[in-house]
Structure 1
């Protein structure tokens, strides 16, 4: 039986062009290589799973390639590239600072830097989770980082830049990695599904991308989990919400319709059904507020681009948004905002949410009554003004 390889490893980018959602980083690195403007130290910062270590490895492979392409990519065929791909390169060294964070570990690294590369132009040192180094280790590293031999390049990677001492930051060229856009993650998952012969619904892939919160590695892990859960090599929206324990969009659409129609009984029954399925009331409040925010941006053709969902769901948002006044949506969101603030301190959070739903169910009547009172007051004030 062939060993299973997780998608995050199997489809790990091997070139700058295949890196997802970090074009501002890859373009700069390729230009630095082509123009021979390589710094002696790089610092890659950003959330987990966005490609920091991957870009560090691609950069290390490319600058030692014997036949760099005109686009600034490694050829993948020369002796150096083959050695890197086989994990047999003597010029590229990786250090995990989480488990090698002492002064002694850094001294050993500094000692290695003294020896030039036997084959190739550069010796590259990739230090992952560099923020885990102790202050003494950072200080021991300072001089070498500032004035390394001409053949030595350091690539540091971290998820917590604020924990790195300023003297280290000042000696590095800093690259900030972004969270990857939902659409980019969904498109990447769709391409992997096609390569693997997996049938995947676009709604399901968008849901995985949203849940991943900008991290491609997390998205690929969830993708593998749902493929394993689905014995027939299909990823459906229903299987995705079951496996990831996500509340179905349909509940938010239904409860919004009930609230707008003043159907309080059905609203409370739907909320009770949600709780019985094991969903947290606070997450429901946050999800409903986000649903109304999506309805708000769906009311204008200029802001609908802010809605990052599948096309079918976008149409449904646009249809429901037509029936709901802007004033009602904003007022309802304000009510939920107060519930969000008070939820953790409430001794009866279910009742807190139910009272909020009761308020929202009769919100339109309150808005109409307020407008009648305002109009009446305006008319009375007008009568009091003496005529010349």
Structure 2
């Protein structure tokens, strides 16, 4: 009689790390543990934190194996390279070791559950070197449960080790954190994930495109478990051969070519075309939120191309060429405005009762924003004192050639921008903002002055609202919206310091004058109590 076939195991379980070498992306933690084991400096409690799927529970089990491994000959001690063949290693890997107890704090939150641990730790391990308690999602324990655990956690018996895992370390009481050696498991980089998934696919006998691997790695967001689950689904979806288009369809990602068409229509200001493209994608089953995320990805790609950043391996060659072309034609300000409007649109789509209509309005807002004047150009016109009005076929609206001299088709030109920082301070003082003018004069050093942008470095603590108050005051006196930044960068001396320095220099020049030096030589106890430079020049 033939044996029944083994039940299928999902990839996330089948390829769970069995030793520290299989634990990708956590080299710093492994090195620390290796040194601690080699020098016999093992903590009595470890806290493993990180996002889902980075290997917290797997790491806890590996630590349990490392501490209890006895080697193939039964004579080994704690090691960072557990053999995996001795009885403790195999029993821990299979979850059946009597001295390695796993508890899910999400379903065992009460103080009674913790009391069971407190009672049990008094007894020595049955067969293992250490009795180990692995508590998953430890932040779910109740406050009373944490309090009950504190004393045992601080002074456990020598044969007991605690291994805690959590995705929300901020919810763990600081009294518990201070009693644990903490390891922050990092998100796994997308390139490492893609390489790992490629090895898994090869081991499973599946053919998968490199671009598909990059898409899965990106969708995993640093989680090996999430990525393996997606890969499992992709292999089943593709029947063993996985393409990038299949992965996009499976994940509900918009077709990248269609996204580029939509982005081109947005940048061209073609409202009917953009809405029609949106409707086509929606009819194909693409969610509006997914579509806006795709546009955000594209704008991010353009921004990276603009600054010469590295290419994303998930981007096709034609995508990179399109991003480079747009990057050459769009300014930094336009790219950032587009990003902000798409981000706002995505937030609205996610919360709106009618997501499709919200997506339409978000795209229309982007198109109509193209009719607004560029902030940099607007600021330059304001600085030159030029009239600013709505744009049309004939350009900005100008005063009519006919009619009375006082009648104009547009608003009066705003006041010219101050030529420099001292002039700005003087303008504030003249316009009744003496308190702000005095603070600018005495307590800040100028970093940069490019109206309507101002960056200064405070020389003493200022009110939290200083930058906002100053921006409001400047808008009131100049008519332009100012950007005021307080920064910790190299700055000029304060205006007051400059004036004092200038006065000191003049005083020194007076004291250095021959007639003054002769006077002091004749009268050693004399003091310089005043001087008039005008009289000195006329003399």
The answer to whether the superposition gives a TM-score over 0.5 is yes
Contact 1:50 1:177 in 2 (8 A): yes
Structure (1 or 2) with the greater helix fraction: 1
Matching residue of 1:359: 368
Contact 1:182 1:308 in 2 (8 A): no
Contact 2:345 2:359 in 1 (8 A): no
1:25-79 C-alpha deviation (Å, 9 max, x unpaired): 2221222112211100011111111100000000100111124699821122334
Deviating more after overlay: 163-172 vs 282-291? 282-291
Q: Structure 1: where are the runs of 5+ without partners?
A: none
Which of 200, 222, 229 is equivalent to 1:221? Answer: 229
Q: Distance in 1 between matches of 2:345 and 2:184?
A: 36
Change in Cα spacing, 1:269 to 1:143, as seen in structure 2 (3 Å) is same
Query: Structure 1 residue 377: deviation in Å?
Result: 5.0
Q: Distance in 2 between matches of 1:5 and 1:205?
A: 21
2:294 matches 1:287: yes
User: Structure 1-normalised TM-score?
Assistant: 0.86
Change in Cα spacing, 1:345 to 1:88, as seen in structure 2 (3 Å) is closer
Deviating more after overlay: 88-97 vs 71-80? 71-80
1:231-275 C-alpha deviation (Å, 9 max, x unpaired): 2x0111111122221112222222223344454443332122122
Which of 270, 278, 281 is equivalent to 2:277? Answer: 270
Map 1:1-388 onto structure 2 (within 5 A): 1-67=5-71, 72-231=80-239, 233-301=240-308, 303-304=309-310, 307=312, 309-310=314-315, 312=317, 315-316=320-321, 318-326=323-331, 327-340=333-346, 343=349, 344=351, 348-359=357-368, 362=370, 370=377, 374=381, 377=384
Q: Distance in 2 between matches of 1:19 and 1:62?
A: 14
SS of 1:353 mapped into structure 2: helix
**Over alpha carbons, which structure has the higher Rg?**
2
SS of 2:102 mapped into structure 1: strand
Change in Cα spacing, 1:59 to 1:376, as seen in structure 2 (3 Å) is closer
Contact 2:252 2:287 in 1 (8 A): no
Query: Structure 1 residue 128: deviation in Å?
Result: 0.9
Change in Cα spacing, 1:337 to 1:8, as seen in structure 2 (3 Å) is closer
Q: Distance in 2 between matches of 1:170 and 1:46?
A: 18
Contact 2:57 2:165 in 1 (8 A): yes
Deviating more after overlay: 284-293 vs 30-39? 284-293
Q: Distance in 2 between matches of 1:90 and 1:345?
A: 53
Change in Cα spacing, 1:19 to 1:350, as seen in structure 2 (3 Å) is closer
SS of 2:186 mapped into structure 1: coil
Change in Cα spacing, 1:209 to 1:293, as seen in structure 2 (3 Å) is same
Query: Structure 1 residue 152: deviation in Å?
Result: 0.7
Q: Structure 2: where are the runs of 5+ without partners?
A: 388-412, 417-539
Deviating more after overlay: 251-260 vs 239-248? 251-260
Matching residue of 2:398: none
Count of aligned positions: 377
1:198-223 C-alpha deviation (Å, 9 max, x unpaired): 01111112112222222211111111
Matching residue of 2:467: none
Higher relative contact order (CA 8 A, sep 6+): 1
Question: How big is the alpha-carbon RMSD for the aligned residues of Structure 1 and Structure 2?
Answer: 3.1
Query: Structure 1 residue 320: deviation in Å?
Result: 3.5
Contact 1:202 1:310 in 2 (8 A): no
Change in Cα spacing, 1:312 to 1:22, as seen in structure 2 (3 Å) is farther
Query: Structure 1 residue 367: deviation in Å?
Result: 5.0
Q: Distance in 1 between matches of 2:323 and 2:48?
A: 40
Change in Cα spacing, 1:70 to 1:149, as seen in structure 2 (3 Å) is closer
Query: Structure 1 residue 374: deviation in Å?
Result: 4.1
Change in Cα spacing, 1:371 to 1:28, as seen in structure 2 (3 Å) is same
Q: Distance in 1 between matches of 2:60 and 2:383?
A: 69
SS of 1:43 mapped into structure 2: strand
Deviating more after overlay: 9-18 vs 266-275? 266-275
SS of 2:43 mapped into structure 1: coil
User: Structure 2-normalised TM-score?
Assistant: 0.63
Contact 2:68 2:77 in 1 (8 A): no
Change in Cα spacing, 1:117 to 1:342, as seen in structure 2 (3 Å) is closer
Matching residue of 2:421: none
Deviating more after overlay: 2-11 vs 344-353? 344-353
Query: Structure 1 residue 118: deviation in Å?
Result: 3.4
SS of 1:304 mapped into structure 2: coil
Runs of 4+ that moved beyond 6 A:
68-71, 378-381
